[in-house]
């Protein structure tokens, strides 16, 4: 049942992310790419889209509620790659939808999704490898461990999942040369039980029965939510390079504002 719900959520997120719009816009250009270059361009576009989706999951509070479950672990090992809320798996959905709509083959797109999942196990592994010559070329476990640390200087950094070039370009790269991350987790309350963690991000949302009883109000609420989400995405995407999110502003986007709660009810 959870798997079905997560699959449905992935479809909804893929559509509501509006990733299909730039996919349609670039489709004529993708059609002109020689076949031998399609995998290279596909990897770059997929990775850049995942970078921005991952960044939004950290910097938009409603999305962070789901992703925080994954980040709440105090220790990292390969199994940490599987630890997360089922709806957090929708993080790859916008990139998947974007590539398919843009005209990349389902085989290439599916391969990238599988590679993303498998690489995630390696990046979370509890290894001490520095792999320093590769730091600015490909993602290493140390790079992703810095992404998971709760140390203040490293928060909101290292969003890339294949190539660190996106963090370098957009000012979110963080790789100290003289130390390694010491503490992991989040500085906010996350319940410890599995059932509690599944329900925690949904706290404050409307009962699905309300949606069935008030379909028009629910549709209106979805549009309000989409508008608010796009506004927060824009705020994250346009913040000054190298700066940190304005938590005082972004933090105002609470679950009660983005759930199906119309004013006056």
Q: What is the 3-state secondary structure (H, E, C) of 41-106?
A: HHHHHHHHHHHHHHHHHHHCHHHHHHHHHHHCCCCCCHHHHHCCCHHHHHHHHHHHHHHHHHCCCH
pLDDT-derived band at 262 (thresholds 50, 70, 90) equals very low
116 vs 4, which has greater pLDDT?
Answer: 116
pLDDT of residue 143: 92
Q: What is the reported pTM?
A: 0.83
User: Residue 106 has what pLDDT?
Assistant: 92
Helix (H) or strand (E) holding 179: none
Q: Is 203 helix (H, G, I), strand (E, B) or coil?
A: coil
H or E element in which residue 165 lies: helix 165-170
Q: What is the pLDDT of residues 158-178, one digit of tens each?
A: 999 899 999 999 999 999 988
* 39 vs 127 pLDDT, higher one: 39
- Tell me the pLDDT of the chain averaged across its residues: 82
Q: Write the burial class of residue 226 (CB in 10 Å: 0-12 exposed, 13-18 middle, 19+ buried).
A: middle
d(CA 118, CA 96): 16
Q: Chain-centre distance of CA 39, in angstroms? A: 22
Cβ atoms of residues 120 and 114 within 8 Å: no
52-105 per-position pLDDT tens digit: 999 999 999 888 888 998 898 888 887 787 777 777 767 788 888 899 999 999
pLDDT cut 90: percent of the chain above it: 28
Q: How far apart are CA 42 and CA 185, in angstroms?
A: 33
């Amino acid at each position: 049942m959870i798997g079905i719900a997560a699959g449905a959520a992935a479809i909804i997120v893929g559509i509501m992310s509006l990733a299909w719009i730039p996919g349609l816009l670039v489709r004529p250009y993708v059609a002109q790419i020689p076949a031998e270059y399609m995998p290279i361009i596909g990897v770059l576009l997929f990775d850049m889209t995942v970078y921005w989706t991952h960044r939004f999951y950290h910097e938009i509070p409603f999305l962070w509620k789901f992703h925080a479950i994954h980040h709440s672990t105090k220790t990292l090992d390969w199994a940490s790659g599987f630890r997360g809320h089922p709806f957090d798996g929708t993080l790859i959905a916008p990139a998947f939808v974007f590539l398919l709509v843009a005209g990349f083959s389902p085989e290439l797109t599916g391969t990238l999704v599988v590679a993303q999942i498998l690489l995630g196990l390696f990046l979370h592994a509890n290894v001490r490898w520095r792999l320093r010559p590769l730091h600015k070329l490909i993602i290493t476990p140390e790079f992703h461990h810095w992404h998971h640390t709760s140390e203040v200087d490293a928060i909101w950094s290292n969003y890339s999942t294949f190539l660190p070039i996106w963090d370098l370009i957009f000012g979110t790269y963080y790789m100290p040369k003289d130390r390694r991350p010491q503490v992991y987790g989040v500085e906010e309350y996350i319940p410890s039980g599995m059932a509690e963690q599944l329900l925690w991000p949904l706290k404050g949302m409307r009962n699905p029965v309300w949606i069935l009883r008030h379909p028009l109000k629910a549709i209106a609420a979805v549009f309000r939510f989409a508008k608010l989400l796009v506004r927060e995405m824009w705020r994250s995407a346009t913040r000054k390079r190298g700066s940190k999110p304005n938590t005082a502003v972004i933090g105002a986007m609470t679950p009660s504002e983005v759930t199906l709660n119309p004013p006056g009810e």
